[in-house]
Structure formats: C-alpha cells, structure tokens
Amino acid sequence: MNAVKRTLWFFALLAWGLLIFFAFGNYYPVFDGAADVAGRIALAAILLAATLLFRRNGRLRPYWLLPFGFFAALAALSIDYYLGLSKWILPALGIVPDTPAGLAIDKLESSLLGAGVVLLVNWAFGNSLGSLFWRRGRLWLGLGVGLGVMIAVLLILIPFTEFSFKGRDLTWQRIIPWLPWVFMFVLSNAFNEEILYRGLFLGKYQPLVGAFAANLAIAIPFTLAHAPTGYASDQLLFLGATLLAALAWGWLIQKTQSVWGSVLFHAALDIPIAVGIFSAF
C-alpha cells in the first residue's frame, strides 16, 4: 500500500476512533439525553449492518473487522454508560460511593461490564481471544516491563501524586489501608482500557497503516477521551503524558504480542491518579 493510501486510511481510522471514543464515550459524551441515545442507536445499527455486509461481500470482506471493532467498542461504551450497575451494587453491599472502596468497586463493575461486552461480541462473531492480544506472547518481557514501572512509581508515589494529581496530606500510614482498593481500581481500569482500545484495534489497523500509525490512531482518541477529566494538576501536561503513555502501551503490545504487560504497565501509571482521587476523602 502506497503512502497516500496509508495516509487516507490513517485519517479515516482516526476520525472513526474520535467519533466512537470521544463523541460517544462512556465518561463525557458530546451529546445529552435523547440526542445521545438516538445517536448511539443509529450509529450502532449502521456499524452492525456494515459488519454483516462486509463479511458477506467478497470484495469488502478483508475490511469487515473494522466496522465490527467500532460496533463492539460502541456497544461496550454505551452499555457501561447507561446500565450503571453500581447504583444497585454499592447500596446492597452497604458501601458509600464517595470512598476508596466505593470508587474501586464502581470501577471494577464498570470495567468488567465494558470488557465483558467486547469479549461477548468478539465471541459471537467467531473471533478468537488472540485477536484481542489475549494470549501469552512474550509474557515475561511484558510483565517485567510493567512490574519495573510499577516499582518505580511506588518509590516516588507521594511526591509525584502531590505534584501531578492533587494529592492531599499523603503519608504511607494513610495510603497503606487504601492499597487493596487502589489495586482493584487500577488493574480493572487498565484491563478494560487495554482491551477496549489497543486489544480491539491494534491488530485491525496495523495491516492498513503500519505499526506506528496504527498505534497513533488509537492513542489520539484515547488521550482526547481523557481531556475533560479534572484530577490532574496541569491538564495540558497530563494530556501530553497520556499520549506518550498510550504510545508506550501500544508499543509494548506490538513488541510482546500480548496485552498483559500493557495492562500491568497501564495499571502502574494509574496508581498516582487513584491515590490522588482517594486523598480527597
């Protein structure tokens, strides 16, 4: 494929990624109320129809995994956004929402629901777990990188969280009781986002645009989906760091051919975010 075609594919994939993850994301969607619901339903119907059409058409069949991927992502984001099981789970457990335990359980529920929808849709269309990079690959390399980053983050956790993520009155005596909830929060979030973004799309984009461009086409929507968040001390610096981190996670998946190292790496970098959020309570 020549450079012009690769460039056109890159911008097309980027546009679709922004539509799915930014306009119809599960945190800060662009539309409200009926407009959001109608938009999601219409777009899901178009993507599902395109998936079935492309899969049955010999000329279009090589591309059927693209509308499939966008449909799976939109379904996961939308079901997570509107179902919100935590509003029943937390009261049933007697847990206050705005506490480390409440936030961690809410994140676990949201992540399992989102990733579960992706896995279910992937299975329903006959795709393997390997298509999501859910495989061994170079497992020890990936886990070694992720664990190394996690150790480094823990060594500088307090000053880094206070500087970057509005950490308040942090001491290890205060943080240690939070750690089970911190790890529940970051591991579930990292698993969900790595499956939803890079696991679902890296293998589908790469044959069309190449390894780096595929990684970038996913990293940009991922970064912009985090633009409205308010937990960083400097939002512009945070978004720049998020873009670089997203590229690093994608590179690690490409290097190891497995999502697991990236999940651990991602979770490690989320630890200061979780601690900063928890410190407000």
* pLDDT tens digit sequence for 44-78: 999 999 999 999 999 999 999 999 999 999 999 99
Q: pLDDT category, 27, cuts 50, 70, 90?
A: confident
Structurally, how many domains does the chain consist of?
Answer: 1
Residue 10 lies in domain? 3-278
Read out DSSP for 83-147? H-THHHHHHHHT--SSSHHHHHHHHHHHHHHHHHHHHHHHHHTT--GGGGT-S-SSHHHHHHHHH
Q: How high does pLDDT run on average in the chain?
A: 97
Q: How far apart are CA 235 and CA 122, in angstroms?
A: 35
Q: How many of the other CB atoms lie within 10 Å of CB of 109?
A: 20
Give the C-alpha separation, 130 to 160, whole Å: 36
Nearest to 43 by CA among 8, 18, 80: 18
pLDDT band at 5 (very low <50, low <70, confident <90, very high): very high
What integer is the mean pLDDT of 252-262? 98
List, for residues 201-248, the tens digit of each pLDDT value: 999 999 999 999 999 999 999 999 999 989 999 999 999 999 999 999
Helices (H), 26-85: 33-56, 65-83
> What is the structure's pLDDT at 84?
86
